[in-house]
Structure 1
Amino acid sequence: MPNTLRTYIVEDNATIRENLIGTLEELTRVNAIGHAEGEAVARDWLSANGPEWDLAIVDLFLKQGSGLGVLQGCAQRRSGQKVIVLTNYATPDIRKRCAQLGADAVFDKSNEIDALVEFCAQLSDASDAGSGPH
């Protein structure tokens, strides 16, 4: 049986979050295992549940704190765990800052959803081949 990507979503807009989860679960083998709307909750959950997640999808602007803080909190994650940023502000400077903080990829919400879906599909395929999270 193919592996699913146990995915934690950090997004404060409920509509965007639910649409994202629906899209990814329909088109890829993403399994949303939880979500947070703020930095502190996300950092605490990701840290406390280290072995339980494969992928975190993080927005930069949150109800409390910042997605950059979430990225910093994931600095000590396992090598197979991926953290990606999904934002409306994917400027060159933001992409560079996210990469410096350890983001595996940055996607623009307005025009890179297809690329995000492809990234998740490739990640789950790599997992099946034994080089991914499981």
Structure 2
Amino acid sequence: MNPPLTVFLVEDNSHVRLGLIPALRDLIGAQILATAESENEAITWLASHKEGWDLAVVELYLKRGTGLGVVRWTNGRPGRQKVAVLTDYPTEATRRRCQKAGADAVFDKETELDQFIAFCQGLSEVSAAGLG
């Protein structure tokens, strides 16, 4: 059996976290490694788990710090590791800033959850095929 897609979730809203975790597990068989609620907490986890994740899902607006700082910190990561921003404020300017900072994709929590899940499914299939 192939290993599941391993996910690190950076989200300060507990309701969103509690909805995303089972959705990722049930829909794509992902393994949620850890969660963080602040920029510092996320960077601390990432620094101690540099190779141990496949996908970081990052909210931009955190209670302390920003998701953009988290995305920037991941620059230089191995190519198999992807960063997806999942936010309530995906303006075109925000999308450009995220991509410039190193995000692989940006999704609107309200209107693009299907696209987000499809993105994750694609990563899961690549990981399962050993191509990641």
TM-score interval for Structure 1 and Structure 2 normalised by the shorter chain: over 0.9
Kindly report the root-mean-square deviation, in angstroms, between the aligned alpha carbons of the 2 structures. 0.8
Instruction: Note the 1:47-66 alignment, pairs <5 A.
Output: 47-66=47-66
1:1-134 to 2 correspondences below 5 Å: 1-132=1-132
User: Could you state the TM-score of these two structures normalised by the residue count of structure 2?
Assistant: 0.97
The TM-score with structure 1 as length reference comes to 0.95
Distance in 1, Cα, partners of 2:26 & 2:45: 25
Cα distance in 2 for partners of 1:122, 1:86 equals 16
**How many pairs align?**
132
Give the residue type in structure 1 aligned to 2:47. S
Hey, what's the Cα distance between the residues in 1 that align with 2:113 and 2:91? Answer: 16
Counterpart residue identity of residue 58, structure 2: V
SS of the equivalent of 2:110 reads coil
Calculate percent identity across the aligned residue pairs: 45
Q: Which runs of 5+ in 2 are unaligned?
A: none
Distance 2:49 2:128 in 1: 22
User: 2:111 aligns to what SS in structure 1?
Assistant: coil
Give the drift of 1:2: 2.7
